[in-house]
Structure 1
Amino acid sequence: MIIVANTFTILLAQRQRQLALLRCVGAGRGQIVRSVLAEAVILGALAPLAGLVLAVGLGELGVFAADRYLADVLPVDGLVVSPVALLAPFGVGIVLTVLAALLPAVRATRTSPLAALRPETPPTGRVRVVRVVLGVLGVGAGVGLLGWGVSQGDLTGGIAGGFLSFAGVLALGPVLVPLLVGAVRGLARVSVGAPGALAVENARRNPRRAAATTSALLIGVTLITMMTVGATIARTVSDEEISGQVPVDAVVSSATGEGVTAAQVERLRTVPGIEATTVIHEIPEATIRGREETVVAMSLVDPEVRDVLRAPRLVEGLAPGVVLLDPTTAANAGVVDGGAVTVPWGRATARVAKVGAPVAPVSDVSGRQGRAVVWLRMADDADPDEVSNALNRAAADEGGLQVSSPAAARAELDRAVDAVLLVTIALLAVAVLIALVGVGNTLGLSVIERTRESALLRALGLTGRQLRGMLAVEAAVLSAVAVVLGVAMGIGYGWAGIATLFADIADDGVPLVVPWARIALVAAVAIVAGLLASVLPARHAALVAPAAALAGE
């Protein structure tokens, strides 16, 4: 809607004299508005029609590719297009286009016929106090509601707070954008000279248009940053939780129940990609007696097990004479952290640790008991699937061994998150492309309104190359402002969304993990794309002869 509104504003600015002549010969304001809205209806119907044709064509191409190359793993009977999928785009396209064109149409009729027929200075687009007040209230209420959603794990409240706060930022755009643009005035003057300073002033001259230019790009950058940061944090939290449940990369045990032999342990240590191993001796007969409950101690381990675990915190405090209990086991046994417990080989101290299953690793100075199980840690740069396959081959060679690989499961989860993130970013990239159209449109409108000003600058010695550079700097500055705001809000929304979703999972809180390399790539692409969007408007401005522009031709 932002792009469509800006486009109609440009169209009506180009036809300002034509509309003024229509008004002079008797056309009323209502007739002008109705003619613009009729044009909006036609465009609003043609665009969805073109989109449907393209979408169905791509869908048929996808079905053909799946049937030809993926028939075994992805059987597809054919493309199914529902009536809703055909009719909804027409309704949405027409309604939104008409709504977007309504304000430019009404604004175009406010200029008197005689005023439109003579040269006029470009509008300044002053910001109304009501807009600022509503923006501040929206940001305040949205942030408060978003904080409530995060603290309570209320997804509905979090989403509502996100929408409200973002709407408030958009409303405050005419205030925020000029402030941020003004912050780079000195840098533009030093790097580009006078054209750079002029570009900054042009970007600040009309706050509402500057905000409209950045808003569409702001939406795209915010969404992409939010999804990238959210997926990164979700993966980090998920890995930590999985490590808490299954804190090792691989477990090798005996299928016969006799335990892994010392020779087999040495063979497993030579598997490429294995970084560390430790032997766990299961004690299925041992019991820990608490106040009223009797629980089973599963394993006898050494303190060196920290070298194998992905979550070493699980064995914090492990030492000779210490029994590690998970919270559920400790509660069932009536044992508190630091309390004394009785084990078959004497007295021990209880240490309650957060582990995912009711397992009680035990460290004791007595001799090893029970069958041996091997825990293994893979190298950080190793491929979990390749190492798991190598372990399976080694186990088959030794005979009687079975392998489970939690690391492979974690890798599969990471691949699923990457696939979802890739598809989502690909879809959101469309928003960025639309935003670039908006940047080009608003720069085009700026060129139209500043035709005489540009001609005067050319007459005073500004070259065509400098004029194009000035418009390029203006586009780059506005794009950079959108990137700064979008990245800041995207990081906040990404963290808040995951914190709300994982409120019941992450007991220690959700960490803020920002993939700066990916964010930098998004920022660079957005700024470069903004520069490319300025090429056509700048070229049009440079081609106009100064004398012709000053003469009003």
Structure 2
Amino acid sequence: MLRITLAGLLLHKGRFAATALAIALGAAFITATLVFTDSLDARFAAQAEGGADRVDAVALSAESGEPIPASRLAAVREAEQVAAATGTVRGRAVLLDRDGDALGRAPALALSAGGAVTRLPAAEGRLPTASGEAALATTSAEAAGYRIGDTVSVVGHRGAEHTLTVTGLVDFGLDAEAARRGAVAFAPQTARRVTGADGYAEIAVRAAEGVAPERVRAAVAGVLGDGARVMTGAEFGRMKAEEAGVQARTVGTALLLFAAVALFVAALVINNTFAVLVNRRSAETALLRCLGAGRGQVFAGVVAEALVVGAASAALGVLAGVGAAIGAVRLGAAVPQAAAVFGPGVDALSPVVQPESVLLGLGAGVAMTVAAVLRPAYLATRTAPLAALRDAAAPDAGAGVRGRAQRLRLVVSGGSAAASAAVTALGLAAEPGAAAMAVVAGGGGLAFAAVLAAAPALVSAVSRAAAVPLRGLGVPGRLAAQSARRSPRRTANAVIALAVGAGLITGYSVASASVQATLAHLMARELPADYSLLPLGAGTGTADDGRRLPGGLAAELRERPAVGKVIRVRRAEARIASGTGEGVGAGAVRVNAYPGARLGADLAAGTPQGELGDVGPGRMSVSKGEAERLGLRLGDTVSLTAEGVERDPAGGHAGDTAAGSRPEVRLRVAAVTADADLPAGLTLAPADFAKLFPDRERDDSLLVTGAEGAAAAQVRAAVEEVASAHPEVQVSSAAGQRDQFGRLFDVIFLVVAALLSVAVVIAVVGIANTLALSVVERRREFALLRALGLTAGQLRRMLAVESLLVALLGTTAGAALGTTFGLAAAAAAMPDMVPEVPAARIALFLAAAIPVGLLAALAPARSAASIPISSLTGQGAGEG
């Protein structure tokens, strides 16, 4: 039987070419995914363990965020299990570039470095030891162009500016905060002076000679009690690796999902190939049965063919996958945007090829091939020995599904569709998140199962409907429609393969566009202007540290033609003196006012209760979280008084608000706003804010929007020109943040679309394979058509129309399902989803189906056109 199997493979090697390509692509995808994910994991783990190796125990500030008191460091050092311990001061500071502007849109991480025990040695130069020295994160130094020996300035606690000399560069590796915002390190006393931080965020410990890490961990935990989380260095390393590895595992999981889809599509191609070959070789199989071959031998022969083809093709695919993964690793190290997708450290990736990845890729390819061939192998065992006496050109085993089988398929399809609707509704009703998305994805899988069951009937119906417009193409068009209708199952396999790939690409496009639109909408609420002007170093001090913008700055901006609207922002703290709500008077509250803005129009917010536009003199809004804390509801009234003494930036008091002279205003709750849309606290009308704080003359910040029709460059130039005259003002661009956000999504989309395109390539191979097998099966039909006068050109056009019909049907069905479930998945991912269908992108994809279909038909059409008329007698050329 083995000799017969090998002989069959050699005789029909041309028929297995497309199948081998599909298997190889699937195995390559699996292997490349595993190798790339292993490389990411190895990089992140190496970084984490490298830092952990330098310490025996690490104590972190408690979950509440409160630092470890500085006095506790001495107690840790006194423990007999401890040889040395160093505390790390951690806070924020604004790092200035060479032009004196803030580097980045958020204050950098500021911390102490050095000491007897440290996790972060200098990658270049040395750590700072004197008060006038600093070390920069390698990413920050690269962004600003700083080198060792340069002078750098930072703005720290209460807006104080410090000038220091760069003594070294530090690779912060897995620290996500440092990677996102940049970082600067100082000697301990300097760090405390710059940040204003009390206590330590972390204490690194080295164990005494002969003391195990577990013992020193227990000793430190006993000293610090509940005020800290203590772990061994190895435990800390694993934690950091897991934190960073989330990105690697998330990407790896997504890649494996796409690889599984590619394998599924390849399985459809393989199943179609072997089903046709088994049917075509029914006379051959019957002859073997006449010669004494049993059903088991026939079954084993077909499976053996699949094993040989699968093993050889999967081996080639594994080699290609390893090569592709190594190329992807090299590309990830070279492309700056790769870190946005895969996380920090991707630029130092090294390829990691584990034996398990190679074996899994090879095994997946072979297992998928064998699984796909089981049904055709079973059908081959049902060939009767007397079939050897019949014409070899038996009808297509998949043609004309009729009667009970067809009704059964429709029942299965209907049941799957109903189950899909129920599961999807369940996912949409659940709390938005990963679990809800998984449920919706399950509903999408059931929907594809419904289409798979109904595909032959769908092909027949579409072929009948397409017969009328295809008449305009003449004889080739009419024959193409009839051919698809005669063999609906054969055509349906190719349609499904393409629909899966089309559905995934369309679904991801719709889901990503909807998520992007939703986040852009939320960002527009949170950042309602194109530019924000803030006092230099804002956000590094207390809620109100006395820093204000220069007076008259808003008027200067309004004079610029490119500037449209300028909204002044004022914030302070007040106290609720009395009120009708439950729990009022519970400490200080933050109050906000926006002179120059129409609330509900210029500044929008979600309002679970009331309307933001109703805020006016005597009426306020309250953020949802603050309303719950204070027990306030719509319609409640409160009396506010100024809290403490208002400080003036120049020193002294802006006004005496001692207990006997505090202004007081009485306000009614007109709206409750969503926490994410407006700053926490109470939003007052400007007149009420002025009553509470009559001596406040300067703004906390300004929100600037460009004039209608003004170019973005003009708006930016106008804002920067005004701000440049005031060194104490920093500019933050919301437009830049939105652009960066959009570019990140574009990068992610391109990565995933490239991966999904592999499934589409396999599907196109499936179309070509279906047509090629059709040519083999229909040799006599084509020869008869040629004998009746059909020219070679008409025959080629007929197959091109068939391919085009399959491509359009597959992409249309996939696009419809993908759009539906893409919207559902997006709604399950986030609350208050803004649906977005990228019509242009989907239309472009559908339009690409035309050249794809024609391309898939080229080789089969050329083969069909070369069939000689002598094939009518079975004496023609071989079947290839």
In terms of mean alpha carbon deviation, does 408-417 or 374-383 score higher?
Answer: 374-383
- Range that drifts further, 54-63 or 133-142: 54-63
Work out whether 1:184 is the aligned partner of 2:466: yes
- Structure 2 match to 1:54: 320
User: Quick check: 2:282–2:383 contact (8 Å CA) kept in 1?
Assistant: no
| Correspondence 1:2-13 to 2 at 5 A | 2-13=268-279
Match of 1:545 among 858, 868, 871: 868
- Give, in angstroms, the shift of residue 24 of structure 1: 4.0
TM-score norm. by structure 1 comes to: 0.88
2:286 & 2:689 partners in 1: Cα distance? 100
Aligned-residue offset at 1:117: 4.2
Q: Is 1:298 equivalent to 2:564 in the alignment?
A: no
Instruction: Provide the rounded CA distance (Å) in 2 between the counterparts of 1:252 and 1:398.
Output: 11
Q: Give the Cα separation in 2 of the matches to 1:30 and 1:139.
A: 37
**Residue-pair matches, total:** 547
Task: State the Cα distance separating 1:470 from its structure 2 match.
Answer: 1.4
Matches of 1:16 and 1:345 in 2, distance apart?
Answer: 96
Q: Is the 1:308–1:377 Cα contact (8 Å) retained in structure 2? A: no
Candidates 368, 391, 395, aligned match of 1:96? 368
Distance change (3 Å), C-alpha of 1:423 and 1:380: farther
How does 1:119-130 map onto structure 2 within 5 Å?
A: 119-123=393-397, 124-127=399-402, 128=405, 129-130=407-408
Instruction: Quote the offset at 1:258 in angstroms.
Output: 5.3
Q: Report the Cα offset of residue 106 of structure 1.
A: 2.7
Note the alpha carbon deviations across 1:6-28, whole angstroms, 9 max, x for none.
22234445545544443443333
Q: Which has the higher mean CA deviation after the structures are superposed, 259-268 or 290-299?
A: 259-268
Task: Flag the structure with higher helix content.
Answer: 1
Larger-Rg structure: 2
How far apart are residue 464 of structure 1 and its match? 1.6
What SS does structure 2 have at the residue aligned with 1:316? helix
Distance 1:446 1:140, change over 3 A: same
Deviation larger for 315-324 or 415-424: 315-324
Contact 2:618–2:666 (Cα < 8 Å) also in 1 = yes
- What is aligned with 1:316? 613
For 1:380 and 1:489, the matched residues in 2 are separated by: 40
* Greater alpha carbon shift after TM alignment, 407-416 vs 340-349: 340-349
CA contact (8 A) 1:247 1:311 kept: no
| Separation (CA, whole Å) in 2 of partners of 1:8 and 1:272 | 72
Say if 1:49 and 1:386 are closer, same or farther in 2 by CA, change over 3 A: farther
Deviates more, 1:25-34 or 1:417-426: 25-34
> Residue 227 in 1 paired to residue 508 in 2?
yes
Which residue pairs with 2:168 in the alignment?
none
Paired position in structure 1 for 2:669:
350
Query: Out of 398, 421, 425, which is 1:147 matched to?
Result: 425
Matched position secondary structure for 1:79: coil
Pairwise CA RMSD? 3.4
- Whether 1:443 and 2:763 are equivalent positions in the alignment is no
For 2:534 and 2:393, the matched residues in 1 are separated by 87
> Once the two structures are superposed, what CA deviation does each residue of 1:96-126 show, in whole Å capped at 9, x if it has no partner?
1111122222323434442554443444241
Letter in 1 for 2:394: E
Q: Kindly provide the amino acid, as one letter, of the partner of residue 376 in structure 1.
A: V
Q: Matched residues in 1 for 2:742 and 2:286: separation?
A: 61
SS in 2 for 1:30: helix
Are the equivalent residues in 1 in contact too, given 2:284–2:388 (CA < 8 A)? Answer: no
Q: 1:144: Cα distance to partner?
A: 0.3
- C-alpha distance in structure 2 between counterparts of 1:181 and 1:377, whole Å: 56
2:806 maps to 1:517: no
For 2:620 and 2:313, locate their aligned partners in 1 and report how far apart those are by CA, in whole Å. Answer: 69
Structure 1 pair 221–392 and aligned structure 2 pair: CA distance change class (3 A): same
Q: Which moved more, 1:15-24 or 1:212-221?
A: 15-24
In structure 2, C-alpha distance between the alignment counterparts of 1:48 and 1:383, rounded to whole Å: 55
SS of 1:398's equivalent?
Answer: coil
* 8 A contact 2:285–2:383 mirrored in 1: no
Q: Which has the higher strand share?
A: 2
Q: Return the alpha-carbon distance in structure 2 between the equivalents of residues 117 and 37 of structure 1.
A: 25
Of the structure 1 ranges 283-292 and 526-535, higher mean CA displacement relative to structure 2 is found in 283-292
Q: CA deviation at 1:53?
A: 1.4
* Partner-residue secondary structure (3-state), 2:614: coil
Give deviations 1:390-441, integer Å, cap 9, x for gaps: 8567534421112334443333333322222211111010000000111111
Residue type of the partner of 1:78? S
2:499 maps to 218
Give the distance between the partners of 1:428 and 1:381, measured in 2 at CA. Answer: 40
Aligned partners of 1:487 and 1:519 also within 8 Å: yes
Q: Is the contact made by 1:302 and 1:363 (CA closer than 8 Å) also made in structure 2?
A: no
Which piece of structure 1 moves more, 282-291 or 379-388? 379-388
Secondary structure (helix, strand or coil) at the match of 1:183 reads helix
5+ long unaligned stretches in structure 2: 1-266, 537-544, 641-662
Higher relative contact order (CA 8 A, sep 6+): 1
**In the alignment, which of 854, 867, 870 is matched to residue 531 of structure 1?**
854
Which of 805, 808, 832 does residue 480 from structure 1 map onto?
Answer: 808
> What's the TM-score once normalised by structure 2's chain length?
0.57
